[in-house]
Structure 1
Amino acid sequence: MRHRGRHRRRRRGRAVRAFLAGTALALTAAATMISASQATVTDDGPGPLKPLAASGTQRTALTEELVPQADLDRLAAGMGKPVGVGAVLAGADRALRNADGCSTAERADLPVSPAATRAYCWNADDTEGWQAGAVTTSGDADDDGVWGTNRVILSGWSRSGGTADDRGLARVAFVDANDLDRLSYTWVLLAVPVDGGRDYRGLASHVSGMVWYQDKLLVTADDGDSSALYVYDMNRVQRADVTGEAVGRVTGGWSAHGYRFVLPAVGSYRLDGASDSPRPTTVSLDRSTAPDSLVAGEWTLDGGDRSARLWRYPFSTADGHEGLLATGTDGRVRASEAYETKLTGVRGVLSYEGEWYVSRAAGARERHGVLWRQTTEGAEAAECGTAESHDCWSGHTESLSYWAETGEVWTQSGRMLFATPLGSVDGSAR
């Protein structure tokens, strides 16, 4: 049965609500040790955001391309009736470790300031040869934070090792977050229908950006793919009935690289193709706008000389277009606003109530990055260590996801999945 979000507009402050007692983790000591290794030079930050003129937003336009319904029906007829998120969670057969069960090396990927108030680590034998990417939650999917009866976290990963056949494959962990003291999960392979729905291929992309909005999951595509974003329908998870390394239709049924579930794309958003068109490599959801919007940013090299662009696309409010971006009569999606930031090494981006949060990745000889709060008036970030460095954030967070119901920002770095209140981010900014 299709779940329709209620989308009640609730204006929320940054004070943390429903914050469970006892969530202060034993992470402060580890963070203190780490802070001693921070860079000794403090800079003045990237300064204010620079609004781009309308000509700048035109270069971010996308074209919507949906998979024909006949193709999706043909694939479902061959694989069997699709299942929903609840059925996937019922098959969760793996567990994350709580922070106190993680090693010192694993916890070193946590931020120094603001400190994580929830943290978990993935098992090495389940993530070896895979690179952690974006995080999104049922707090993105629906503003009450629940999908059906479940609280869910989605964690994206891409194959970094392996063979030429499976390198770059993308998968998502569906995490049962109903009990935050006991997180369990199972894997779902991301795929793209081919041959008119008679088969599918694995999505070959680093999952650096991912947003679950209503019943759709939007996932970023790597450079080299003509699509900027792929679209998945969370009600169209398919079961794979053949266990093996292959992906797609095989003798005896369907295979998903050894996983029991596969999620085929239902559409994509194609770049217009201009040489200076920015590719959205990190995305997040902003529920403080009307309508809700998809926030996007492009990655830049640390220490490079090119400014990164940040922008947003409005989500559609049209019937029959649920969870998709707003398109014009020509089928194109246009940004509603865009900015430039002088920050280099850009990775994650988040926007809420008019303020932007942009993370810089750790440099080659750095352990930690920076999380800047930027507006058109200036930039602020936490300080830590005796030299009052801004290098206080986790080093490799590729996305930021705000769970408005609890006031927490979720992300992951290395093998650590963690959350910190947005109020703490604001409170630690100098």
Structure 2
Amino acid sequence: MKQRGRHRRRKRGRAVRAFLAGTALALTGAATMISVSQATVDGNPGALKPLSSTTDTAALGLQAQRVPQASLDRLASAMGRPVGVDAVLDHADKSLRAPDSCAGEEHRALPVEPAATRAYCWNAADTRSWRAGAVTTSGDADDDGVWGQNRVILSGWSQATGTPGRGLARVAFVDANDLGHLRYTSVLLVVPVDGGRDYRALASRLSGMVWYEDKLLVTADDKGRDALYVYDMNRVQRTTVDADAVGRVHGGWAAHGYQYVLPAVGSYRLTGTDGATRPESISLDRTTTPDSLVATSQPAGDEDGPTRLWRYSFSTAPTLTARAGLLATDTTGRADPTEVYRTDGSDIGGVLSYHDSWYVARVGSGDGHGTLWRQTRDGAQATRCGPEERRNCWIPDTPSLSYWEESGEVWTQSERMLFALPLASIDRALE
């Protein structure tokens, strides 16, 4: 279990120096491989417009649901004592590749401007048929950037089977203690069923993911009205059978060949009926009091409604209590947004809030590159690149953005590459 207390601040200075001591990756050469289309991206999303009416906010309410403790205990009794993050990292047996060993098409998925200062590519065998999703880190989990004795990056991936309600979602646990050599292993996300006697795969794209204290919140679109699933990072379970099946099998427990599963301990369900809005991208904002979860979502279906950006407060319950790491709710378990905005931007992917600025990544057009905007109540600015200062400088599709406060870096990933760059460099690249 994560130990928090007086030692945290004392070690922070040493941790920051060690984290930043390595030489930043030289990616300038890779950036020159990227060509920018002559087309200019239009569509300034404009200033953020605050929304406060019940009509605007009611669709964003969430109802907390918990997996019964008896179900979790039954599952643990059958599978064995749960383990934590450190135990998973001890079995990190795969390595991300350095940029000089990545292929040209992988480099072309990096931003043109601002340039990535750290970048790594995944092994092709591990990404085939899987879709890259959200990123979160131990910098989200604790403001000293360390979980236990480790710096950790969590990278979400999903796989569709073509059958409604079927699919897989996994999280790569990346050992980030040595930024020159990232090692990882993957954990399958599951949901307990039958009172903890079995579990099913989470059939959802991981377009949003936040690790806060000992909880991992992930976006959900697999079944019913669940909008976010909640996982306890101290409840990883080991599997016992190497099989393609997921759940209880003859001789033990399987997880599509993975060594570990992480069972859900709860969820947040949509409370509205018509027009309920499901978060598609989420991130953590530590500049609010209390810390908050920010979210965005596109209008449902073919509707022309506004794109919303909003936030929920996290609970201020003490660490090691049942409410730690969860959203703040009323006495009925309902979480309502504390701030809601409308943006005129469309096709929004990842979102990040820092002080009064909202950074939103918009999906690329036909030329293959997206745009990265910073929006406030006063207006919007986009990062620029090239001699004509074009706006299509960002990666094509950004599931999420995660800010590591300790190092000042923003982490995200494209289809085959995990990368980071300073938030300050994004601000410098704005028009």
TM bracket, shorter-chain basis: over 0.9
1:302–1:345: 8 Å Cα contact kept in structure 2?
no
Q: Which runs of 5+ in 2 are unaligned?
A: 10-15
Code of the aligned partner of 1:346: I
Code of the aligned partner of 2:348: V
Q: Match of 1:34, SS?
A: coil
Code of the aligned partner of 2:403: Y
Q: Match of 1:105, SS?
A: helix
Q: How many residues align?
A: 421
Shift of 1:99: 1.1
CA distance in structure 2 between the aligned counterparts of 1:205 and 1:6, rounded to whole angstroms: 39
Specify the alignment match of 1:90 in structure 2.
90
CA distance in structure 1 between the aligned counterparts of 2:243 and 2:163, rounded to whole angstroms: 16
Deviations 1:204-245 (A, max 9, x none): 000000000000000000265310000000000000000000
Specify the alignment match of 1:357 in structure 2.
359
Deviations 1:148-179 (A, max 9, x none): 0000000000014x575995210000000000
Specify the alignment match of 2:297 in structure 1.
298
Code of the aligned partner of 2:42: D
CA distance in structure 2 between the aligned counterparts of 1:7 and 1:69, rounded to whole angstroms: 32
CA distance in structure 2 between the aligned counterparts of 1:5 and 1:84, rounded to whole angstroms: 19
Specify the alignment match of 1:218 in structure 2.
217
Code of the aligned partner of 2:385: C
2:33–2:107: 8 Å Cα contact kept in structure 1?
no
Q: Match of 1:157, SS?
A: strand
Specify the alignment match of 1:327 in structure 2.
329
Percent sequence identity over matched residues? 64
1:34–1:112: 8 Å Cα contact kept in structure 2?
yes
Specify the alignment match of 1:130 in structure 2.
130
2:43–2:345: 8 Å Cα contact kept in structure 1?
no
Q: Tell me if 1:390 matches 2:385.
A: no
Q: Match of 1:139, SS?
A: helix
CA distance in structure 1 between the aligned counterparts of 2:264 and 2:41, rounded to whole angstroms: 45
C-alpha change, 1:44 and 1:299, in structure 2 (3 Å) is closer
Code of the aligned partner of 2:248: R
Greater shift, 119-128 or 377-386, is seen at 377-386
Q: Match of 1:88, SS?
A: helix
1:39–1:391: 8 Å Cα contact kept in structure 2?
no
Q: Tell me if 1:373 matches 2:368.
A: no
Q: Tell me if 1:156 matches 2:164.
A: no
Code of the aligned partner of 1:421: P
Specify the alignment match of 2:13 in structure 1.
none
2:370–2:395: 8 Å Cα contact kept in structure 1?
yes
CA distance in structure 2 between the aligned counterparts of 1:47 and 1:331, rounded to whole angstroms: 35
Deviations 1:238-280 (A, max 9, x none): 0000000000011111001100000000000000133222210
2:39–2:367: 8 Å Cα contact kept in structure 1?
no
Code of the aligned partner of 1:332: R
1:286–1:350: 8 Å Cα contact kept in structure 2?
yes
CA distance in structure 2 between the aligned counterparts of 1:420 and 1:221, rounded to whole angstroms: 28
C-alpha change, 1:250 and 1:44, in structure 2 (3 Å) is closer
Code of the aligned partner of 2:273: A
Code of the aligned partner of 2:386: G
CA distance in structure 2 between the aligned counterparts of 1:181 and 1:39, rounded to whole angstroms: 36
Structure 1 residues 47-196: aligned runs within 5 Å: 47-55=46-54, 56-160=56-160, 164=163, 168-196=167-195
Specify the alignment match of 2:416 in structure 1.
415
C-alpha change, 1:313 and 1:39, in structure 2 (3 Å) is farther
Specify the alignment match of 2:42 in structure 1.
43
Greater shift, 184-193 or 316-325, is seen at 316-325
Shift of 1:52: 0.6
CA distance in structure 1 between the aligned counterparts of 2:166 and 2:108, rounded to whole angstroms: 27
Structure 1 residues 7-46: aligned runs within 5 Å: 20=20, 23-35=23-35, 37-43=36-42, 45-46=44-45
Specify the alignment match of 1:13 in structure 2.
none
C-alpha change, 1:19 and 1:261, in structure 2 (3 Å) is closer
C-alpha change, 1:180 and 1:255, in structure 2 (3 Å) is same
Greater shift, 72-81 or 382-391, is seen at 382-391
CA distance in structure 1 between the aligned counterparts of 2:412 and 2:234, rounded to whole angstroms: 24
1:5–1:214: 8 Å Cα contact kept in structure 2?
no
Specify the alignment match of 1:343 in structure 2.
345
Shift of 1:57: 2.2
Please report the RMSD computed on the Cα atoms of aligned residues, expressed in angstroms: 2.3
Shift of 1:330: 1.6
Q: Tell me if 1:238 matches 2:226.
A: no
Greater shift, 51-60 or 68-77, is seen at 51-60
Shift of 1:375: 0.2
2:327–2:335: 8 Å Cα contact kept in structure 1?
yes
Code of the aligned partner of 1:407: G
C-alpha change, 1:352 and 1:157, in structure 2 (3 Å) is same
Q: Which runs of 5+ in 1 are unaligned?
A: 10-15
C-alpha change, 1:85 and 1:122, in structure 2 (3 Å) is same
Deviations 1:299-352 (A, max 9, x none): 369999542100000000124200000000121001000001111110000001
CA distance in structure 2 between the aligned counterparts of 1:303 and 1:71, rounded to whole angstroms: 40
Q: Match of 1:424, SS?
A: helix
C-alpha change, 1:265 and 1:6, in structure 2 (3 Å) is farther
CA distance in structure 1 between the aligned counterparts of 2:106 and 2:314, rounded to whole angstroms: 37
Shift of 1:53: 1.3
Deviations 1:16-36 (A, max 9, x none): 98773664433223323424x
Shift of 1:97: 0.2
